[in-house]
């Protein structure tokens, strides 16, 4: 399996690539702001064919370049129905005051016009997305946004890892996603953690939307938000 990534944009959101190996079809997970050049570089370096763009949630730092990647490579975009409207209006996920502040802080004075990509499909709970022989499972984990999902894929490597989970802003190393933005819900976040994280085996690798890789076992034993649920 080929797994690689790079941080993109002012908020350094992780953009991931997963495939069976070089020269095969791949999925791009969360191509956020300023990621298109990095996507081109990884695709060329590993001779990949982009078949799918997987969006964990509709915040701008995770899907800003989704339309560009989909258009350039003819890929299908997958996003949960509850966040789908953000593809054409990403600033709807934050308040007007916060949007103005972000534009100022990040130099976003000229926000491009967003439209839905040509081929958008629903990353609904329980859906299995096939990408050139890889089976990617979708778990709906609302809390950070109503349509937040994580993506899991079996890991065939020699390391003691059973699956890889792309968690977006749902679960981080030592923390969880914030719930105070538009559409966030602490109650839903707690339910998602209890129902979708705690049952997973410790050897699931977690690749979050920001920051370093972790694992379910590490988070179960050290993440204070999970410890509250197991204490």
Question: What is the tens place of the pLDDT at every residue in 147-184?
Answer: 999 999 999 876 789 999 999 999 999 999 999 888 99
Question: What is the tens place of the pLDDT at every residue in 15-73?
Answer: 999 999 999 999 999 999 899 999 999 999 999 999 999 999 999 899 999 999 999 99
pTM for the whole structure: 0.93
CATH class, domain 2-230, is alpha beta
Parallel, antiparallel or unpaired: strands 13-19 and 25-29: antiparallel
The DSSP output letter for 203 is: T
Q: Give how far the C-alpha of residue 66 lies from the chain's centroid of Cα atoms, to the nearest Å.
A: 11
């Amino acid at each position: 399996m080929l797994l690689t990534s790079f941080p993109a944009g002012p908020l350094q959101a992780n953009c991931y690539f997963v495939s069976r190996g070089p020269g095969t079809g791949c999925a791009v997970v969360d191509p956020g702001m300023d990621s298109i050049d990095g996507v081109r570089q990884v695709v060329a370096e590993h001779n990949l064919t982009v078949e799918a763009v997987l969006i964990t949630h509709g915040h701008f730092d995770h899907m800003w370049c989704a339309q560009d990647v989909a258009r350039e490579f003819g890929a299908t975009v997958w996003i949960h129905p509850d966040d789908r409207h953000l593809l054409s209006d990403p600033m709807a996920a934050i308040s007007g005051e916060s949007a103005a502040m972000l534009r100022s802080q990040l130099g976003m004075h000229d926000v491009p016009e967003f439209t839905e990509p040509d081929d958008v499909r629903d990353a609904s709970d329980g859906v299995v997305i096939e990408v050139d022989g890889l089976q990617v499972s979708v778990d709906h984990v609302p809390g950070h946004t109503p349509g937040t999902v994580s993506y899991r894929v079996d890991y065939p490597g020699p390391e003691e890892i059973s699956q890889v989970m792309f968690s977006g802003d749902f679960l981080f190393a030592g923390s969880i996603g914030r719930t105070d933005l538009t559409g966030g819900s602490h109650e839903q976040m707690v339910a998602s953690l209890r129902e979708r994280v705690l049952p997973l085996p410790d050897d699931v690798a977690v690749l979050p939307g920001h920051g370093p890789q972790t694992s379910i076992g590490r988070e179960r034993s050290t993440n204070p938000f999970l410890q509250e649920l197991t204490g």
